[in-house]
Amino acid sequence: MRYIHKNHPYETFYKDYRNALPCATPQFAAAQQRGKATHYAKYMNGHRTASGERLWNDSLICAHRTHKFGTLLKVRNLRNGKETVVRVIDRGPYIKGYVIDLSIAAARAIGLLGAGVVPVELTVVDKREPDDAPEAAND
């Protein structure tokens, strides 16, 4: 990918790492994943994520280590049975046993805000193909 910055007369070349992490293979697309979930801190509102999108606390979005950006995941709280569907826009969490970081709105929807960390079950609802991945906004 070629990028020419408006303030610099030279060209720079860089590799696009937005979808570099491996994704769940097709035969396991409907498989469920269990682990712990947590949520983003409130101060992260408006910050850019690994996909280039901005994190908004009122959106149903999440971070996952391996699923492609744009993949829809159903998250079910195993303690109370509440569930919601979120879209992957970031990478993480990188702590053993944790499988997903949720936005504040998604955490509120499954009853995670009071507890901080809860056991969850993830199921793929809609898997994005590489050509369908959302492009980063040019701000």
Give residue-wise pLDDT tens across range 40-62: 989 999 999 999 999 999 999 99
pLDDT at 29: 46
pLDDT at 23: 46
Please give the Cα distance from 83 to 80 (Å, whole number): 9
Alpha helix ranges (H) inside the chain: 104-110
Tell me whether residue 91 is exposed, middle or buried, using C-beta atoms within 10 angstroms of its C-beta: 0 to 12, 13 to 18, 19 or more: buried
pLDDT at 138: 54
Paired sense of beta strands 118-126 and 72-77, if any = antiparallel
Share of the chain above pLDDT 90, in %: 64
Residue 134 is classified by DSSP as P
Strand, helix or coil for residue 34: strand
**From the first residue on, what is the mean pLDDT of each consecutive set of 10 residues in the chain (139 residues)?**
47 43 45 90 92 94 95 95 96 94 96 93 80 52
Domains and their CATH numbers in the chain? 21-132 (2.40.40.10)
